[in-house]
Structure 1
Amino acid sequence: MSTTGTVAIAGAGIAGFAAAASFAQRGFDVTVYERSQDPREFGAGIYLKDNSLPVLDALGVYDHIAAAGSKIDTASITDERGEVIVRRDVSRERLIVVLRAELHNALRDAATAAGVKLVTGKTVTGASADGVLRFDDRTEVSADVVIGADGVYSTVRESLGLTKSYRYLPDGATRVLIKRDGEGPEGREYWSGNRRVGVAPCGPELAYVFLIGPESNPRCGALPLDKDYWNEAFPNLGHVFDRIEPDSGVHHRHQEVTCLRWASGRVAIIGDAAHAQPPNFGQGAGLSIAAAYELARTVADGRSSADVPAQLANWESRFRPAADKVQRYTTWYSNAGYYWPRPALGLRSKFFHTLSVTPATAHWWEFWWRGGVEAPATYLSND
């Protein structure tokens, strides 16, 4: 396609800026529209694996992310008996935990350096398949490619009738940052019934903590954190909870989005708009970054602007199966991991340990830590 192609993106989050940088570095004229005046990423830490890290390499931001974050060498799960039921050596993989804000800012800087224009205070209300993005002030813009990176409540997705299902899940997560105190290069997860706590280093001074449990119990998602509740469930983690500041943390109920299609005419959706999922594998952002890069590559390799609808369909047919597989696995992980009666928790531990060491199923864990990419970076092989 000619490098004079235009791209309009709804949403200035991680997915939106990843798409913006990916297209702009290929010579496209890109504009990102964002409803807030000051786009920022809310949350704490984020896991980056071998589906997104090759993209960050290609976009020129990997070195910054690697320096700002922490490389994880081992990953483990400890059950309520204090027994380690899963331990994986991931030292030969690139697995990094970094602040969400660091990732967001790095992608924003890459996009800006490539010439992307950011328009803030502009609320998107929908799109049409011929490449038109509409706003609440009754204005609209046309582009060769329109991208909906506008989150789980995507108005772009809804306006095009792409939603297959949307649902709240029965659990949610609180995410916080604490000062590091002995956290080494290991991602640790602890189970206690239907609750989980994860702890991982997140840069030279901070550690990332997530606390997951049932939304039916208001103490589980309370902010400030109900330390008595969590200490009762995880008495061995008092040294972690003591470092959580009263005014820190965000809490979100988990949601899941599935779509009839990811593309309609000249419009594509990416990120949570396309595949919102529970964060069991830490792969929402990673899939978004990989999908954005592959989308830009596919369109850039097209012969002309007239081919855009076919290019978007081709992108979806090649990339979506891996994303759907990750989404299925992460939902299965919730169902298989949480909802066991207390007398059966020992059996649960044995079940997951067996899965992790049996050759026929151990590859599931490799799939998890690689981030849903069976052969890392294969989608970059033709770049």
Structure 2
Amino acid sequence: MGASRRVLVVGGGIGGMASAAAFGQRGMDVLLIEKRPEFTVPGVGLGQPANALRVLGELGVLPQVIAAGFQYDSMRYFDYNRELIVEHKFLLGGPGLPAVCALSRSDLHDILLDAALKVGVGIGLGTTAQQMEQEGNRVHVVFNNGSSDEFDLVVGFDGIRSTTRIFAFGEAFEPIHSGYGAWRLQAPRPPEVDAMEFYQGLGSKTGAMPLNDELMYLFHIRPEDPSEKLAREDYPRYLRERLNGYGDHIAEVRDALGPDSDIVYSPLEPAILPPPWYSGRIVLGGDAAHTFPPHLTEGAGMALEDGLVLADELSQDKPVEDMLDGYVQRRYARCAFVYTFSMQMLHSEQMVRTHQQLDEARRELKANGSARIAASDRILNLPVLPAKGALLWR
């Protein structure tokens, strides 16, 4: 696409910031706009598997990520009283690359923001695109402050309710509530929580991952009525009720919840946009193109990969449409795998409603749980920037 081309990135989250940094590192003139007036990032955690860490290495920020986070190499399945069912050692990573490094979302965002600023990315806070009109090989954009500009490409990393997606495709692919919701918060980390932990409950599932020596990230997934309005001030009460029945340190977190607890709730609205992910010179990535249940901790990882692969394609000497086709071809099957695999995990765990079903799930997980995750590991450990001539998907 060339160093002289102008790119507008819409959305200042993890994927948008990473793509902007990758574009800037390749000499492109980049403006990133974010609708929030300042970068205030909810204090929840992100597990970054090795495939995400490879992208962060390509962006030159892996040392900062490792320094800010907590490395681990296994996943453990428990029942609701933290009785171990099975442990899986990840088949991820490689020499000098851990299987997983978890850290707070705010720390990762700050690291990526610094990388973007270092390569001259312009930042427009409190800024949205009010209109996008494609005129030949350019996109004319009118912003909410009344100003306008033209770009060679508009890249939408503006989340599950993407306005960029609407400009490109209308409202045909708007998110739909799955009937499940996710509760998230940070909590003090017991020393024994030194890996990813899943706890199978009756009609719900809880998990925890270490973020650093002091903190862990706790999440809880269960059916939620889409029509019910959950008042934020009542989040501590709601979450206490939902964690009833869990023992061990989950019970300790539950009992410590109070008015000052920083709890994040969001409905699960999984979706994947069918190809192509672009229309003319408007292209999508991250949650604007695909949203997964959190079971493989790959939401941020897939957004990071999107940004890097798109930047790699845009650096090629070929027509823009061919570059955008190449981006989608390199990304769709991989993202579709994550979507399908994580949806299967979501449905299987939420079907456990009785003690008899829990006993059956315990036997099945003990026999097959590690083998399933191993299959996912082998796929996701494939690099997205292989040696020249190598295939991304076999």
Same fold (TM over 0.5): yes
> Over residues 122-154 of structure 1, what are the superposed CA-to-partner deviations in whole Å (9 max), with x where a residue is unaligned?
122353454333434554322122101111111
Pairwise CA distance, 1:345 = 2.4
CA RMSD of aligned residues (A): 2.5
1:288 aligns with 2:308: no
The unaligned stretches of length 5 or more in structure 2 are 94-98, 390-394
1:250 aligns with 2:264: yes
> 167-176 vs 129-138, which deviates more?
129-138
Task: Give the conservation status (yes or no) of the 8 Å contact 1:183–1:201.
Answer: no
Give SS of 2:207's match.
strand
Partner of 2:187: 178
1:318 aligns with 2:330: yes
> Over residues 285-326 of structure 1, what are the superposed CA-to-partner deviations in whole Å (9 max), with x where a residue is unaligned?
1100011001001111234xxx21220111101111101110
1:299 aligns with 2:353: no
Distance (whole Å) between structure 2 residues aligned to residue 124 and residue 191 of structure 1: 43
What percentage of aligned pairs have identical amino acids? 26
Partner of 1:373: 380
Partner of 1:47: 47
**Alignment equivalent of 1:150, drawn from 144, 153, 158:** 158
1:76 aligns with 2:81: no
Pairwise CA distance, 1:265 = 1.7
Give SS of 1:167's match.
coil
Give SS of 1:208's match.
strand
Distance 1:82-1:218 versus aligned 2 partners, 3 A rule? farther
Distance (whole Å) between structure 1 residues aligned to residue 84 and residue 142 of structure 2: 52
The unaligned stretches of length 5 or more in structure 1 are none
Distance (whole Å) between structure 2 residues aligned to residue 83 and residue 208 of structure 1: 20
Distance (whole Å) between structure 2 residues aligned to residue 239 and residue 349 of structure 1: 24
> Over residues 227-284 of structure 1, what are the superposed CA-to-partner deviations in whole Å (9 max), with x where a residue is unaligned?
6524532033323334545322111111123223311222210111000122121111
> 195-204 vs 94-103, which deviates more?
195-204
Pairwise CA distance, 1:91 = 8.1
Partner of 2:122: 117
Distance 1:71-1:34 versus aligned 2 partners, 3 A rule? same
Distance (whole Å) between structure 1 residues aligned to residue 230 and residue 385 of structure 2: 43
> 345-354 vs 311-320, which deviates more?
345-354
Distance 1:125-1:331 versus aligned 2 partners, 3 A rule? farther
Pairwise CA distance, 1:351 = 2.4
Pairwise CA distance, 1:24 = 0.1
Task: Give the conservation status (yes or no) of the 8 Å contact 1:257–1:273.
Answer: no
> Over residues 2-48 of structure 1, what are the superposed CA-to-partner deviations in whole Å (9 max), with x where a residue is unaligned?
31121111111111101100000011110001112102322410010
**Alignment equivalent of 1:259, drawn from 273, 285, 306:** 273
Supply the AA of the counterpart residue of 1:328. Answer: T
Query: Superposed, which structure 2 residues align to 1:1-383 within 5 Å?
Result: 1-80=1-80, 82-90=82-90, 93=93, 94-129=99-134, 130-137=138-145, 139-161=147-169, 163-164=172-173, 166-216=175-225, 223-226=235-238, 228-230=240-242, 232-236=244-248, 237-244=250-257, 246-247=259-260, 248-260=262-274, 261-303=276-318, 307-342=319-354, 343-357=356-370, 362=371, 364-369=372-377, 373-375=380-382, 377-382=383-388
> Over residues 102-135 of structure 1, what are the superposed CA-to-partner deviations in whole Å (9 max), with x where a residue is unaligned?
0111111000001000011212235345433343
Task: Give the conservation status (yes or no) of the 8 Å contact 1:188–1:199.
Answer: yes
Give SS of 1:169's match.
coil
Supply the AA of the counterpart residue of 1:16. Answer: G
Distance 1:12-1:80 versus aligned 2 partners, 3 A rule? closer
Distance 1:227-1:27 versus aligned 2 partners, 3 A rule? closer
Distance (whole Å) between structure 1 residues aligned to residue 139 and residue 323 of structure 2: 14
Task: Give the conservation status (yes or no) of the 8 Å contact 2:61–2:111.
Answer: yes
Give SS of 1:337's match.
helix
Distance 1:296-1:281 versus aligned 2 partners, 3 A rule? same
Distance (whole Å) between structure 2 residues aligned to residue 218 and residue 192 of structure 1: 24
Pairwise CA distance, 1:220 = 12
Pairwise CA distance, 1:366 = 2.5
Distance 1:58-1:215 versus aligned 2 partners, 3 A rule? same
Pairwise CA distance, 1:367 = 4.6
Supply the AA of the counterpart residue of 1:144. Answer: D
